[in-house]
Amino acid sequence: MKIEDPKNCLELKRCDTDERRRQIALAARQLIVERGFEGLRTRDIAERVGINVATLHYHVPSKEALVELVAQSLRDEFIAQAEKRPRDGLSPLEMLRHEFADFRETEVENPALHLVMIELAERARRDERIAAVIQPMQAYWHGQMTDILQQGREDGCFRADIDPEATASMVIGAMISARRRDDDIAFFDRVAAELERSLVNPAATGKTA
11-22: per-residue pLDDT in tens? 434 547 889 999
- Other Cβ atoms less than 10 A from the Cβ of 87: the count is 14
| Contact between residue 127 and residue 121 where contact means Cβ atoms under 8 Å apart | no
**pLDDT at 181 (0 to 100):** 64
- Average pLDDT estimate for 64-86: 86
Distance CA 121, CA 83 (A): 24
Q: Is residue 184 over pLDDT 60?
A: yes
pLDDT interval class at 3 (50, 70, 90): very low
Mean pLDDT on 135-143: 92
Q: Considering the chain, what is the average pLDDT of its residues?
A: 86
Please tell me the predicted confidence (pLDDT) of residue 1.
38
**Range in 1-10, 45-54, 136-145, 156-165 the model is least confident about:** 1-10
Instruction: With a cut of 50, say whether residue 206 has pLDDT above it.
Output: yes
140: confidence class by pLDDT, cuts 50, 70, 90? very high
CA proximity to 105, closest of 126, 84, 124: 84
Give the pLDDT confidence score for residue 2 in this predicted structure: 40
The pTM score is 0.80
Contact residues for 150 (Cβ-Cβ < 8 A; gap 6+): 164
pLDDT score, position 131: 87
CA dihedral 19, 103, 41, 70 (to 10 degrees): 40
pLDDT higher than 90, residue 29: yes
Q: Is the pLDDT of residue 98 over 90?
A: yes
CB 149 within 8 A of CB 92: yes
